[in-house]
Chain A
Amino acid sequence: MAGEEHVAGAAEGKLDIIGHLLDHHYLEVPYFNAHHFFDGKIDLPHFAPFELYGIPIDMSITRHVVMMWIAGALLVTLMLVAFRRSKEVPSGLAGLFEPMVLFVRDDIVLANLGPRGLPYLPYLLTIFFFILTCNLLGLIPYGATATGNVSVTAGLALCTFATILIAGIANNGLFGYFKSLVPHGMPLWLLPIMIPVELLGLVTKPFALCIRLFANMTAGHVIILALFGMIFMFNNEAVGLIAVPFAAVIYLLEIFVALVQAFIFTLLSALFIGMAAHPEH
């Protein structure tokens, strides 16, 4: 069938865990008798990969791309509608977003970057709300977690990496930034060790951001899918009496983790940008 992907190991009567986590070239139709509508899947445009300097780049629209578009469109619409009329005391939708914006501004940017860090506030706000929306969209039935795709989180980590470099080089000069990586007052014989270590540390921090977000988002879904898979494994509906409440509790934990991971990504990005801009503290 066009667009359908078979994952090795998915057998009849077994829950295809990896298949539910991966990116697919089709959208699932959220309806009861889904196979009456488009065979239950909406095929998305599939472009052939093209070569760029020997790296094959696949620009087809997949499920996670659609989820990211939905998150972006949702955020833009909600923010424009909420802050259309700026009042002294915000109400309605603005009352939902304003505490979150103030929280990012006061507790993340001003606390870690100081008043001179306010130029970075738009980037950090974008990161926070985008990751939060993508995480929460993955929890809706028939939705996919875009941040559960390592490419998406790698892209976000690359944006943070670029901002760290821009902040460091703009504040300290090109050579001054790399000089500031190595701690001051090092004995000369330690430099051959410290320089590779510090350069590696420069790359490791955004990499850790990427993997942390990806693994947290995927792990929650794996646990829920594994719990439901136990029902199929024992081929007994009574296991559902235990599995469904467990899965519901893990689901609530996942909502908490979605919030915390967005906060942690933004906080660590702000910390790294602050460390790059003002290395003396």
Chain B
Amino acid sequence: MDMTGIGAGIGAGLVALGAGWGIGRLAAAALEGTARQPEASGDIRTTMIIAAALIEGVALFGQVVCFLLATG
């Protein structure tokens, strides 16, 4: 029984879950930091975008693997 499709689907879902959780925590920390010190909001926003792009990069590694599993 070929479980590649199920594996790819579950993997993609887990990857999205991990990325969502990580970036959610990141956004929460950024909001809290901006609330404490509104003058630093520019720096916090830049750092948040950089960290979000890195986390998303890792998540997309997993998605690429799942895509390759699903189609080949």
Chain A interface (Cβ < 8 Å from any Cβ of B): 18, 107, 208, 211-212, 214-216, 219, 222, 260-261, 263-264, 267
Contact = CB atoms under 8 A, between A and B. Distances in A.
B49 A216 contact: no
Interface in B19-71: 46, 49-50, 53-54, 56-57, 60-61, 63-64, 67, 71
B62 to A, nearest CB: 9
Contacts of B49: 260, 263
Given A212-B56, A215-B61, A215-B63, 5 more contacts: A18-B71, A208-B61, A211-B60, A212-B57, A222-B67
A177 to B, nearest CB: 25
Interface of B: 46, 49-50, 53-54, 56-57, 60-61, 63-64, 67, 71
B53 A261 contact: yes
A214 B64 CA distance: 9
Contacts of B56: 212, 216
Q: Pick the 4 closest A-B CB pairs, nearest first.
A: A215-B60, A212-B57, A264-B53, A215-B64
B60 A216 contact: yes
11 contacts: A208-B57, A211-B57, A211-B60, A211-B61, A211-B64, A212-B57, A215-B64, A216-B56, A222-B67, A263-B49, A264-B53
A48 B44 CA distance: 52
Contacts of A267: 50
A232 to B, nearest CB: 18
A264 B60 contact: no
Given A18-B71, A211-B64, A216 B57 contact: yes
